[in-house]
Amino acid sequence: MKKIKLGRTGMEIPNIAVGCMRISGKSENEVENFIKTAIENGLNFFDHADIYGGGKCEEIFSKAIHMNDDIREKIIIQTKCGITNGMYDFSKEHIKEAVEGSLKRLNTDYIDILLLHRPDALCEPEEVAEALNELHTSGKVRYFGVSNHNPYQIKLLQKYMTQPIVANQMQFSITNCSMVDVGLNVNNENDRALDRDGNVLDFCRLNDITLQAWSPLQSGFFGGVFIDDPRYKELNDMLQQVANEYNTTKTAIAVAWIARHPAHIQTVTGTTNIKRLTECAKGAEIEISRKEWYDLYKSAGKNIL
């Protein structure tokens, strides 16, 4: 499995993270087989959040992997907090309580990476910094990041934090890539020239913050997988054409498209289908050409000026 650097930590991680949002709908045996397949394919980075399955995803995961000290040393666990009861909460009390809850459900003494899950409009960065400092000093969390944050939200947090922000998880796929669109449409009067996120792609690259792509196969905001979706016929035709060149699948090429970007983006899978997970793992190893990357981009309905 191809490795990338996690921010400025020097830590090497797989360029695929196994998203665990949907495992609460599976039996313990199914989850055990799913995790086993992931690890066999070099995927030892698991992405959680305290709200996934109302906390059940973390609990099922720890039981299915038969968590113990030996296993814990071989895997990387990332979880998120900050979404609760129809609102966002970055208060010191909530962050610390959320981490304690995740530690208990995951049956572990520490979390490798904690992400703040979507911005809190009432965020008090000094209070966030206090919580993160205490969690880091106690050894309960090793590294910190954010999810769905723009550059100024990150800079505001970083002003008060002692530890660096090492990751930012954003929605990104061939069909949902406004981070790329804005850079290709500078100084043009069209919708793709609109800067919707403060040029977060270049900001993260400049500041050594690892970008993580959630919903890498989704169209819209949870609009369904675009693979084999008749609404994306041209894209699927191009995916198949490129897949044929590499003797692989359309799913693998969709992941290869993300992996090809020089920002070294980590793809966060959302599937619980073992076959699709294996295809994602294979895609992360494929380096498509520049022309193939642009052909795929254009086939999703994007214009190159």
Task: Examine residue 185 and state whether it is found in any structural domain, yes or no.
Answer: yes
In total, how many domains does the chain have? 1
CA distance 119 to 168: 11
Mean pLDDT, range 33-40, rounded to an integer: 97
Per-residue pLDDT tens over the stretch 137-174: 999 999 999 999 999 999 999 999 999 999 999 999 99
CA distance 166 to 278: 27
Report whether 163 contacts 132 (CB < 8 A).
yes
Per-residue pLDDT tens over the stretch 175-200: 999 999 999 998 888 888 888 899 99
pTM reported for the whole predicted model: 0.96
DSSP secondary-structure letter at 230?
G
Residue 163 burial class via C-beta count within 10 angstroms: exposed 0-12, middle 13-18, buried 19 and up: middle
CA distance 261 to 181: 13
Percentage of residues in the chain having pLDDT higher than 90: 91
Domain containing residue 168: CATH number: 3.20.20.100
Task: Examine residue 109 and state whether it is found in any structural domain, yes or no.
Answer: yes
Task: Examine residue 52 and state whether it is found in any structural domain, yes or no.
Answer: yes
| CA-to-CA dists, residue 244 to 165, 273, 294, angstroms | 39, 22, 17
Report whether 205 contacts 7 (CB < 8 A).
no
> In which residue are the tokens 């991680």 written?
13
Task: Examine residue 234 and state whether it is found in any structural domain, yes or no.
Answer: no
Task: Examine residue 203 and state whether it is found in any structural domain, yes or no.
Answer: yes
Mean pLDDT, range 26-31, rounded to an integer: 94
Percentage of residues in the chain having pLDDT higher than 70: 100
pLDDT score of 192: 86
DSSP secondary-structure letter at 92?
H
> Domain range spanning residue 76?
3-229+264-272
